[in-house]
Amino acid sequence: MSYRVCIPCAGIGSRLNDLTKYLNKSLVTLSNKPIISHIIEKFSSDTEFVIALGYKGDLVKDFLELAYPEKVFIFVDVNPYDGQGSGLGLSLIKCKDFLQEPFVFISCDTLVEETIPEPVKNWMGYSYCDNYDEYRTIDIKDSLVISINDKLFNNINNPAYIGLAGIANYKEFWDSMVDEKSISIEVGESHGLKSLLDKNFKIYAENFTWHDVGNMSSLNVARNYYHGKEKLNILEKSNESIWFVSNKVIKFSADNNFIFNRAYRAQKLIDYVPDLIKVKKNMFSYYKINGDVVSENINLPLFKNLLEFSIKFWKQANMSNDDKKDFDKLCLSFYYSKTLERIQLFYENNSISDNYQSINGIKMPTLLSLLNTLNWNWISDSIPCRFHGDFHFENILWDCDNKEFVFLDWRQDFAGNLEYGDQYYDLAKLLHGMIINHGIISENLYHINWNQSEISFNFHRLQNLIKCEEYFYEWLDVQGFDKKKVITITALIFLNISPLHHYPYSLLLYALGKEMLFNLQNNIFDI
């Protein structure tokens, strides 16, 4: 049976806090793809979807068009989608003209594991839960829904209605939704379903294994449940996402210049990065590359192979002396000014200030005093080259069949320059990924204790990465690179990324960066 599915995505998703600052709630990531992908992929290939759009609706539309170009989507704009006069019922009424047939309604924060029935009969999805008072519930007798209860009149023995229903008697459903519009706007689809019961239409009760992903606590439960299915260790950022849908990878950024520059640089890095399929204002797509991220298979022989390959990639720029001086000034801004800005952001995010805390039992000066002793001109004396910009094992694929590397998630610019970056920065990024592995962080295999007078931390390390790090220092010497500069920039990288990651990992990054600077300046770094 070919039918339509209505997914309302107009709301602002306030219960998901900062996760919806830059994204519509249907695009919040769960198991490496947006929530709405989990919903869409529950239905057959010939299903058509009616999507109600409001808050960040352009992002929902762009994502669906990139991810599922073969599917039929009917997009309906809803206004207002917040405040007075808004509501789930309004989203539904706006979709009415495109749902003049039996259809399935599913909330964009409802995930189920079982097959979703076709709307050949009226049915409502239900599930038993502990916090039943947060949801409407239903009374069931002989597999039929006999009443739909508002939250104020719930019974602890009743199962929750999960925001999933099949509506076969669509004409009668819409009659009540439109005739009593003021009520239905506030109540939503439940009002139309109640009217079907009042008119003696049968509504069957369908039991589901349900994951509510509409608030932070239940979303975290769902993420933990799905975590075992994930193969990639991607550390989440609020303003960026990378999604894996079928055979495609979709990169999102809240900054449209970010996406434009990434797409531009993809042409500059051709033969080293994937070919882009399509570019939208805030996202682009490319086909998933066969292979595994290097972090999953890293060993010393593979690492040596990567370094040999990368030397060819880091093609040095042919610059005049004046151009080189100008580029070094960009590097000075990139390393010095950005570091100070990021450190200040870290302090603001965590409501702390620079002080004389000891770290792992060693008395430390303030971070500012450590930074003031650095020779920033030495740090900024660059090697301009073709660059990646976020060069670590999670962003490098190894295609074992074709014996080749593919670089992913390349940086959109280097201090505003789209053509060249500092080779030392790529080298430092590579080292930072050997010191702290994303997989270790995602498994919470680290400890950080922070108080007014002392910081202590530790984290697990993989033996293969330690071997790679030891070889890397030898390789730097052989290639004629300044090893101390690479390590210094690595410490600055940890400080720079500390405000961009989640608590308490952010604290660990800051403490590690500061400790590395202290050890370097006191010649106690173990290399």
Tell whether the model's pLDDT for residue 236 goes beyond 80.
no
**Cβ pair 93, 184 in contact under 8 A:** yes
Tell whether the model's pLDDT for residue 231 goes beyond 70.
no
| 393: DSSP letter | G
Tell whether the model's pLDDT for residue 123 goes beyond 80.
yes
Sorted by sequence, the CB contacts under 8 Å of residue 506 that are 6+ apart come out as 346, 349, 350, 498, 499, 500
Tell whether the model's pLDDT for residue 453 goes beyond 70.
yes
Predicted pLDDT at 527: 53
The confidence band for 494, taking pLDDT boundaries of 50, 70 and 90, is: very high
Tell whether the model's pLDDT for residue 396 goes beyond 70.
yes
Tell whether the model's pLDDT for residue 48 goes beyond 90.
yes
Spatial separation of the C-alpha atoms in residues 77 and 5, rounded to whole Å: 16
Predicted pLDDT at 232: 52
Predicted pLDDT at 304: 98
Predicted pLDDT at 150: 87
- CA distances 274 to 39, 226, 244, 271, 397, Å, are 28, 28, 14, 8, 11
- CA distances 278 to 27, 31, 207, 375, 406, Å, are 19, 23, 40, 44, 19
Q: Find the mean pLDDT for residues 332-360.
A: 97
Query: Any idea which of 47-61, 143-157, 335-349 has the lowest mean pLDDT?
Result: 143-157
Spatial separation of the C-alpha atoms in residues 138 and 71, rounded to whole Å: 34
Question: Angle at CA 455, nearest 5°, toward 450 and 458?
Answer: 100
- Name the maximum alpha-carbon separation found in the chain: 85
Q: What percent of the chain is modeled with pLDDT above 90? A: 88
Spatial separation of the C-alpha atoms in residues 118 and 115, rounded to whole Å: 9
Burial class (CB in 10 A: 0-12, 13-18, 19+), 252: buried
Q: Find the mean pLDDT for residues 439-457.
A: 94
Tell whether the model's pLDDT for residue 268 goes beyond 70.
yes
- CA distances 94 to 11, 47, 76, 105, 262, Å, are 14, 20, 7, 14, 37
| 336: DSSP letter | I
Q: How far is CA 320 from the centre of its chain?
A: 41
Question: Angle at CA 63, nearest 5°, toward 48 and 439?
Answer: 120
Tell whether the model's pLDDT for residue 132 goes beyond 90.
no
Spatial separation of the C-alpha atoms in residues 6 and 74, rounded to whole Å: 9
Tokens describing residue 470: 């030891």
How does the average pLDDT of the chain come out, rounded?
Answer: 94
The confidence band for 431, taking pLDDT boundaries of 50, 70 and 90, is: very high
Tell whether the model's pLDDT for residue 233 goes beyond 90.
no
> What are the DSSP calls for 76-139, one per residue?
EE-S--SSTT--HHHHHHHHGGG--S-EEEE-TTEEESSPPPPTTS-EEEEE--S-GGGS-EEE
Spatial separation of the C-alpha atoms in residues 274 and 68, rounded to whole Å: 19
Predicted pLDDT at 523: 83
Q: How far is CA 147 from the centre of its chain?
A: 40
**Cβ pair 411, 390 in contact under 8 A:** yes
**Tell me, what amino acid is at 311?**
I
The confidence band for 442, taking pLDDT boundaries of 50, 70 and 90, is: confident
Q: Which residues does residue 105 pair with via DSSP β-bridges, in sequence order?
A: 6, 165
Spatial separation of the C-alpha atoms in residues 469 and 276, rounded to whole Å: 33
> Is it true that the peptide bond before 69 is cis, omega within 30 degrees of 0?
no
Predicted pLDDT at 524: 76
Q: Find the mean pLDDT for residues 336-353.
A: 97
Predicted pLDDT at 230: 52
Tokens describing residue 72: 């039929």
pTM as predicted: 0.85
Q: Find the mean pLDDT for residues 139-157.
A: 86
Tell whether the model's pLDDT for residue 428 goes beyond 60.
yes
Tell whether the model's pLDDT for residue 229 goes beyond 60.
no
Tell me which residue has tokens 């991220």.
293
Q: Find the mean pLDDT for residues 99-107.
A: 98
Predicted pLDDT at 235: 55
Spatial separation of the C-alpha atoms in residues 310 and 316, rounded to whole Å: 12
Round to the nearest angstrom and report the end-to-end CA distance of the chain. 67
The more confident residue out of 401 and 20 is: 20
Predicted pLDDT at 237: 72
Sorted by sequence, the CB contacts under 8 Å of residue 403 that are 6+ apart come out as none
Tell whether the model's pLDDT for residue 416 goes beyond 70.
yes
Q: Find the mean pLDDT for residues 18-33.
A: 95
Predicted pLDDT at 412: 95
Coil, strand, or helix at residue 5?
Answer: strand
| Predicted confidence (pLDDT) per residue in 255-266, tens digit | 999 999 999 999
Tokens describing residue 169: 């008697």
Tell me which residue has tokens 């994930």.
230
Q: Which residues does residue 414 pair with via DSSP β-bridges, in sequence order?
A: 417
The confidence band for 154, taking pLDDT boundaries of 50, 70 and 90, is: low
| Predicted confidence (pLDDT) per residue in 457-472, tens digit | 999 999 999 999 999 9
